[in-house]
Amino acid sequence: MMEKELWHPVVLSESVTSTPLAGVLLEQPLVLWRDGQGRVQAWGDQCPHRGARLSLGRVCEGRLECPYHGWQFDAVGQCVHVPALPQFVPPATHAVKTFACTERNGLVWVRLAGPGDATLPAFAAEDDAQLRKVNCGPYDVAASAPRIIENFLDMVHFGFVHEGWLGSRDVAQIAEYAVEATPTGLRATGCKAVQPQSNLHSTTAAEVAYTYEVTAPYTAQLTKVPDAASVALQGYRESIGLFICPVTPEQSRVWFRLAVADFTSPDQVLRDFQHTIFTQDQPVLESQSPKRLPLDLRAEVHTAVDKASSAYRRFLKQQNVSFGVIP
């Protein structure tokens, strides 16, 4: 499964502490915790002794202790203490399955398999000091990761799902836009939408210029720049990263990373706007059938304005993505 060789976000960085936390990535149960050096560890959530869930255990002196018989594992997953046999020196076989993990975008990223280095999906706004970053989520969504990416790329639903906010049914027509393939997915440029309430600071309906980019099979970003006269905050622009943990083929955990030219609104106010928008999307997303995205373009019907989603399906097929899709 090629997806195992990619980095995926699994949890907010700030929620990983010295209390073990359970997570699931690509149907692999994980335990996440911080070791004595403050580094995040992501392991299989299964003790090698009798299979108990390590996420029910605790951390003592930088070691993870199993909840069942108290075996302790050091930061590389090696068992270093068996309380029932204090003199026993556990051999290398007495170890937990560990996975590569790192932190970026306020999230913990995990990679289940694969040789050598793999790069994390880019989020272009991350290093832009003019944009403040706030994460929003997680949302547990009963939809496949590719259906969620496709929804993010789709402007055609604005007037219906987000009526009065990102669109209106009276201005549903979509202007011509361009889509090009990139090494990591695709880029859609020249996208325009007339939006009644494009962002937190909108004072009037306005035309908003969008660009979209798929940066990995389950990761995307957009930038939106509203007509300056429509916003109370001078020079307002924003970028939104969509980060998805594919939990099962039909269940996903979703975060948005907001990068906004707004250093004054409280975090919660920024999150509330995004929450309003996404909870409009969620019931429709969860209603889609089949939940797995069909990659055969003959399986669903398309129009010219759906070309970003058709390009996304072609990209997934070309990459041999298998999780959350119907090949």
Q: Count CB neighbours of 87 within 10 A.
A: 5
Task: Kindly list the distances between the CA atom of residue 260 and the CA atoms of 139, 192, 204, 235, 264, in Å, as whole numbers in the listed order.
Answer: 21, 19, 19, 10, 10
Taking CB under 6 A as the binding criterion, the range among 63-71, 100-108, 178-186, 229-237 that sits at the site for ligand FES is 63-71
Q: Judged by CB under 6 A, which of 69, 97, 169, 302 binds ligand FES?
A: 69
Q: Which is nearer to Fe ion, 6 or 242 (CB)?
A: 242
Sign of CA dihedral 48, 50, 53, 56: negative
Based on the shown chain and the rule CB under 5 A, indicate whether residue 281 belongs to the binding site for Fe ion. Answer: yes
Residues in contact with ligand FES, total (CB under 6 A)? 8
Q: Which amino acid is at 211?
A: T
CB of 187 vs ligand FES, minimal distance in Å? 48
Examine residue 31 and tell whether it contacts ligand FES (CB under 6 A): no
Site size toward Fe ion, by CB under 5 A:
1
| Shortest Cβ 35–ligand FES spacing (Å) | 18
In angstroms, the CA 257 to CA 278 distance is 13
Residue pair 21/33 in contact by the 8 Å Cβ criterion: yes
The pattern of x and - marking residues 232 through 271 that bind Fe ion according to CB under 5 A reads ----------------------------------------
Query: Looking at beta carbons, which residue is closest to Fe ion?
Result: 281
Contact call for residue 177 and ligand FES (CB under 6 A): no
Give the start-end residues of each E strand in the chain: 8-12, 21-25, 28-34, 40-44, 58-60, 63-65, 72-73, 79-81, 98-104, 107-111, 132-141, 178-182, 185-195, 206-216, 219-226, 238-248, 251-260, 293-294, 325-326
Nearer to ligand FES, 47 or 261 (CB): 47
- Which does residue 104 touch among ligand FES, Fe ion, none (CB within 5 to 8 A, set by kind)? none
150 contacts Fe ion (rule: CB under 5 A): no
Told to check if 49 binds ligand FES by CB under 6 A, we report: yes
Q: Which of 240, 247, 210, 220 minimizes the C-alpha distance to 311?
A: 220
- CA distance from start to end of the chain: 13
DSSP 152-186: HH--TTHHHHTBTTTB-GGG------EEEEETTEE
Determine if 47 is a binding residue for ligand FES (CB under 6 A): yes
Q: In whole angstroms, how close is the CB of 84 to ligand FES at the nearest point? A: 9
Among 52, 95, 113, 122, binds ligand FES (CB under 6 A): 52
Q: Where does this chain bind ligand FES (CB under 6 A)?
A: 47, 49-50, 52, 66, 68-69, 71
Q: Where does this chain bind Fe ion (CB under 5 A)?
A: 281
